[in-house]
Chains A and B, each alone.
Chain A
């Protein structure tokens, strides 16, 4: 059963699709209106990252960095040292991909109040191919102390993540997608940094029970997989983790205890991302059978987003297949 705060029409033929980056654009503009210390930096991708909405409204608080992501990270750190709340945006492959050390030392080690916005994360970037498909960014940011890591599911979560990041005092990384993503949540759906949300609860009359833990853009696929599993007589629930770090250990332990097996779903390498985080948590606390859906130690490639989801085994039927495999 879907959580009651979700959109009424979630069927793939009916669901609205909007890129998560639009949520960033709206959220940033809103954050800028609420707090004059919010500033935005971008590396020659202003419209693509949707930073332009803020730049048009607050030109004096927008800083064009040129194509220089390493500089942007440290400039952001310097601005934060003077009381600003910088949002630094580029494609995730370049920021924090290229600028990892600057992020680690000048932002995280300094505990600077900088928000790193990685757009075009995941293979759903599509035709641009592997060079532009960041599927390592969660791993890169998750290992850095002081860093909060978010992966919003849809446009509403992206907007809320932006506003929550602006309020939170400290370094935050969040990833955004390029292509239109199913809108699953509503403006009223709860969103809190560090808190996992149950988005779908299993029918308790089914004997078998599998728990799906999703992050980011694959929430919709996870929900559709849960529906399909239920129709096939397998009880399935979906716990959505928009926050990867700080990790909601309590919620994951409880979720694992309520199910026989767990499947993680992410548009990211299964090594180092959500799958690893969940595996670590379960092994240490409640050893549970686990399958990890995501990219398995490969680079992405060119193609249409939907084709790539099938190709890399992150589509609905792949999730269903994995769930059946470990719950059987």
Chain B
């Protein structure tokens, strides 16, 4: 496990903040898309791509790379923004999100853009694919040090296929598989506890032979520790239930399920309001960045 210095934590927090700003700019320009999930997962994506993964943005097909399988494809603005900031492609391309001919499809398409490991959008299939990759890797190379990180939403756990994949992962004792669940408590129709209660979630995963950790999904150091511990788990798949705040970083949107599937503003027909809301969000984020910058870490 890699220890993070306070300086590194601060740098990662600032990086996550920049990624959040890109997300707001992309969604505002696109006029449609999901806001809550991408903002809420920015810290986890930042930590993965800037602190954890064994990868090479200049050689995205490098065989030895760790794999990130995004199961809830609708949060792809955070994946795209993170990939661009990590150097997979130019930042300017982020503004083509959801436009005709763009490599940044509304939901990710493998092969369209460097760094996309699978096409996703229809919920519940990412874990199965990660399980397939992890199984194949064990066959290809018994001494492999690759990890397969599957990122999934909590609402997505309503899908039966996820539990099929969990059964298989548990049966096969896939210790190279790390599932990170975005536990933000919201889905399109409301709060997850109302739409389809998931608790006791940790116990359910345990019953499926997963090593389970619950962490604050915005605390870089806790997340880093949890991933490090998950990497060292022997003969069990791991799940990190990351408690996140939907739309984290933009307090006027936070915890509100109405931002799940909407961009800032009301949509394409109302450009003025969209721009105003985006400006408010960006100002909030920049203020937050100043606060992080000002932290005394000596």
Footprint of B on A, CB under 8 Å? 39, 60-61, 63, 65-66, 68, 70-71, 73-84, 86, 101-102, 105-106, 109-111
Contact = CB atoms under 8 A, between A and B. Distances in A.
Contacts of A61: 139
Given A70-B160, A109-B109, A81 B133 contact: yes
B203 interface: no
- Kindly name the residue among A66, A70, A80 whose own CB sees the greatest number of chain B CB atoms within 10 A: A70
Contacts of A109: 109-110, 119
A101 B122 contact: yes
A39 B139 contact: yes
Given A73-B128, A74-B132, A75-B132, 4 more contacts: A66-B167, A78-B129, A84-B139, A110-B111
A81 B67 CA distance: 10
- Kindly name the residue among B117, B129, B168 whose own CB sees the greatest number of chain A CB atoms within 10 A: B129
A111 to B, nearest CB: 7
24 contacts: A39-B139, A61-B139, A65-B168, A66-B168, A70-B164, A73-B128, A74-B128, A74-B129, A78-B135, A79-B136, A80-B132, A81-B118, A81-B133, A81-B136, A82-B136, A82-B140, A84-B136, A105-B119, A106-B125, A106-B129, A109-B110, A110-B111, A110-B118, A111-B110
Nearest to A67: B164
Contacts of B109: 109
A79 B132 contact: yes
B168 A106 contact: no
The SS class assigned to the B binding surface is: helix
Interface string B130-174: 111111110110000000000000000000110011011000000
A83 B140 contact: yes
B293 to A, nearest CB: 40
Nearest to B128: A74
Contacts of B140: 82-83
Nearest to B132: A78
B164 A106 contact: no
A39 B110 CA distance: 23
Contacts of B190: none
Contact of B129 (A65, A75, A84, A101): A75
A253 B137 CA distance: 47
Contacts of B132: 74-82, 86
A315 B110 CA distance: 46
B164 A68 contact: yes
Contacts of B118: 77-78, 81, 106, 110
Nearest to A109: B119
- Kindly name the residue among B120, B125, B134, B140 whose own CB sees the greatest number of chain A CB atoms within 10 A: B125
Nearest to A77: B129
A233 B121 CA distance: 58
B128 A75 contact: yes
A71 B164 contact: yes
A120 B177 CA distance: 35
Given A39-B139, A110-B118, A78 B133 contact: yes
Interface string B231-275: 000000000000000000000000000000000000000000000
A71 B128 contact: yes
The 9 residue pairs across chains A and B that have the minimum distance between CB atoms: A78-B132, A74-B128, A71-B164, A82-B136, A78-B129, A75-B132, A68-B164, A78-B133, A79-B136
Given A68-B168, A74-B129, A79 B135 contact: yes
A61 B136 CA distance: 9
A65 B168 CA distance: 7
A111 B133 contact: no
B148 to A, nearest CB: 8
A30 B67 CA distance: 32
Given A83-B140, A105-B122, A78 B167 contact: no
A82 B128 contact: no
A79 B111 CA distance: 17
Contacts of A60: 139
Nearest to A36: B139
